[in-house]
Amino acid sequence: MRPACDSAWDAYVHAHPAGTFFHLAAWRTVIEQAFKHRTYQLEVHRDGALAGVAPLVEVRSRLFGHALISNGFCVGGSPIASDADAQAQLLDQVERLGRELGVDYIELRDAPAAAPGWAAQDGIYATFDGPIATGMEENLKQIPKNQRAVVRKALARDLQVKIETSLEAFYPLFSRTMRDHGTPAMPRRLFEQMLKVFGDDCEILTVYEGSRPVASVFSYFYGDRVMPYWTGSHPDARALAANDLMCWSLMRRGVERGCTVFDFGRSKLGTGPYNLKRHWGFEPRPVTNQYRLIGIDALPNVNPTNPRYAAMIGLWQRLPLPVANVLSLLVSCNLG
């Protein structure tokens, strides 16, 4: 379980075909500083070189249980290895650690397969990605006709797009949107840590109407991918088509930075974001999470579609925004 230096770990991740932004070593620092959770970096070595890595976060919550997650506060980051033997060794390490910690369960995110004794959960999420054409007109033609018309109207409006590293415009829009969805907002310090630790691999794009920010997205850049990950918008954004301009502008920003893939990210099946991504011409890929149940007998269901949370979501949507933001500080660290 001895961690390699960050440079060796990240070199392995970048070279692995299944390596993602969520596998990078710096997540350890981000999570520890933002949430004070314990993190682990498990490895398999062969002939003195890395043959597998697994980033993990231990989350203890009175609300949602005690879990070991790969990778916590991310939508991916499950163990990757050079071959089946290394993968088996890595999963054995992960399970042994979970049992030593006495967790209720271990969760591997976006992991199509695991090992005997692990339980798959699918049919809840899908993820979307697709190529970005270099030329503007080619890129527009990749978008279905109806959505393309909306983008053209947005481009004709008197809206401005700015690339930022400050949270001043983004965070109020983000926290308001999360409140409106009935979901606790991740704390500002998480975004501060990501900007500090990941540097140019994180970026904020904001759409303004005059001096007023109306839509904003916090994105990750990894390899050939641009990933809009956290978004927020004013209620007026829909009438202004500001969210459409935001997505289009981020595609073009990705091209500027040498990206060839727009990774639209994960959404719950049948939800508004899921349908929106299909309207943009992206096809869903099912997401499977793997679980090893240790202290519980049934798969956890910690997501807003669980009827158990319906009353809580309704209450959260009615909270004054300052109150929701304060309570979010107490709750969001438990979400993993």
**Model confidence band, residue 307 (pLDDT cutoffs 50, 70, 90):** low
For residue 196, the model assigns a pLDDT of 97
Q: Token pair 């978008």 is at which residue?
A: 143
> Where does residue 66 fall: left (phi above 0), alpha (psi -120 to 50 degrees), or beta otherwise?
beta
Q: For 104-138, what is each residue's pLDDT tens digit?
A: 999 999 998 888 889 999 888 999 999 999 999 99
Q: For 140-173, what is each residue's pLDDT tens digit?
A: 999 999 999 999 999 999 999 999 989 999 999 9
Asked if the model's pLDDT at residue 331 lies above 90, the reply is no
Rounded Cα gap, residues 247 and 251, in angstroms: 6
Q: For 264-284, what is each residue's pLDDT tens digit?
A: 999 999 888 899 999 999 999
Of 308 and 296, the structure prediction assigns the larger pLDDT to: 296
For residue 314, the model assigns a pLDDT of 83
How many of the other CB atoms lie within 10 Å of CB of 214?
Answer: 25
Segment 201-226 shows an average pLDDT of 97
**Model confidence band, residue 4 (pLDDT cutoffs 50, 70, 90):** low
Mean pLDDT of the chain: 93
**Model confidence band, residue 3 (pLDDT cutoffs 50, 70, 90):** low
Q: For 39-48, what is each residue's pLDDT tens digit?
A: 999 999 999 8
Q: For 245-271, what is each residue's pLDDT tens digit?
A: 999 999 999 999 999 999 999 999 988
For residue 333, the model assigns a pLDDT of 84
Of 56 and 5, the structure prediction assigns the larger pLDDT to: 56
For residue 151, the model assigns a pLDDT of 95
Tell me the backbone φ, ψ of residue 289, rounded to 5 degrees: -105, 145
**Model confidence band, residue 287 (pLDDT cutoffs 50, 70, 90):** very high
Asked if the model's pLDDT at residue 335 lies above 90, the reply is no
* DSSP 8-class letter at 333: G
Percent of the chain with pLDDT over 70: 96
Q: For 174-195, what is each residue's pLDDT tens digit?
A: 999 999 999 999 999 999 999 9
For residue 2, the model assigns a pLDDT of 44
| Distances from the Cα of 127 to the Cα of 23, 124, 133, 259, 267, angstroms | 17, 11, 20, 18, 6
The number of helix segments (H) and strand segments (E) in the chain equals 12, 12
For residue 93, the model assigns a pLDDT of 97
Segment 76-95 shows an average pLDDT of 96
Q: Which residues contact 248 (CB under 8 A, 6 or more apart)?
A: 151, 154, 155
For residue 1, the model assigns a pLDDT of 41
Of 63 and 211, the structure prediction assigns the larger pLDDT to: 211
Residue in 96, 202, 19 with CA at minimum distance from that of residue 9:
19
Reduced to 3 states, what is the DSSP secondary structure of residue 127? strand
